[in-house]
Amino acid sequence: MLITILAAQKGYIKEAQFMRLFHYYRSFRISEENTLMKWKQEKTDKGWKSVDDNNATDGDLDIAYALIQAEKIWPDSIEHYGDAAQKLLESIKNNNYSEKTGLLTVGNWATVDPKAETLIRFSDMMPTYYKAFADFTNDPFWTKLEENATKALTQMSQETPTGLLPDFAWVGANSITPVKPYEVSGKNDGDYAYNSARVPLRLADSDNPKVEKSVK
C-alpha cells in the first residue's frame, strides 16, 4: 500500500489499484473494532487464510500512513480512507503501546505479555510517521511517542561501537540492551540484521537533527 500510494503521488497509478490493496487489508483485519491487520496469510485449499490473530506493528504503521496520504489524494472516495486511518491509529494506540516503555511493542501479542511488552524493534520507530499521525489526529500521544522513539534511537546508536542498531532490544528502567542470540527469532536477534536493515529507510526523511545523527 505504501509503495502504491507513493506511485499515486507521482501520478503513475489510479485509485482502483490502491483500492484493491485496501480491500485486501480490510479482509484480514483482526475485527471490525480492532482494525490491526493479521500479519501473515497463507494459501490453502479454501483460499487465503491468516495464520493467527497477531499483527506486526510496522506493517500497520505503513498502512495507516498510506491511508492518510490516500485521503489527501482522493478526498471524495467512497472508501473514506481518512476514517479507516483514524480507526487503525486508535487500534495501534490501544493494542501496540507499552505503558512500561513509552514505546510501541512489536505486536499485539507482545503487549499482553509482561516480558515481551518491554521488547522493542527499532524498525518500528518511525518519527516522521508519528509526526504525520499527530498532525492528522491532533492527539498528543503521537507527539510524545515521537519524542520517546527519538530518545531510544539516539541512546542505542550512541552505545554501539558502529552506531548500527540491533534488530531487537530490551528496555529497562534506565537502559536499552540488545537481546541475545535466539531470544526472539534467530542467532542475529541482537545484531544489525534483517529487521534493523530497514531503519535507514524509516529515518531517512526525518528533519529532526537527533534522528539525522542516528542515520549517519
Rg for the chain, CA atoms, rounded:
17
CA nearest 17: which of 7, 32, 26?
7
By DSSP bridging, strand 97-98 and strand 176-178 are unpaired
Q: Which of 58, 60, 124, 189 is catalytic?
A: 58
Looking at residue 208, its pLDDT comes to 82
Crossing angle of the two packed helices 2-9 and 57-73, in degrees rounded to 10? 20
Residue-level pLDDT at 215: 72
Of 56, 211, 37, give the one whose Cα is nearest residue 130: 211
Cell numbers that stand for 147 in this block: 519524542
Counted residue by residue, the chain has a size of 216
Is 83 among the residues known to form the active site? Answer: no
How far is 111 from 97, CA to CA, in rounded Å?
7
Using 50 as the pLDDT threshold, list the residues of the chain that sit under it: none
CA nearest 92: which of 126, 69, 50?
126
Cα separation, 69 vs 84, whole angstroms: 12
> CA 178 to CA 121: how far, in whole Å?
10
pLDDT digits (tens, 9 = 90+) for 156-172: 999 988 989 999 999 99
pTM of the model: 0.95
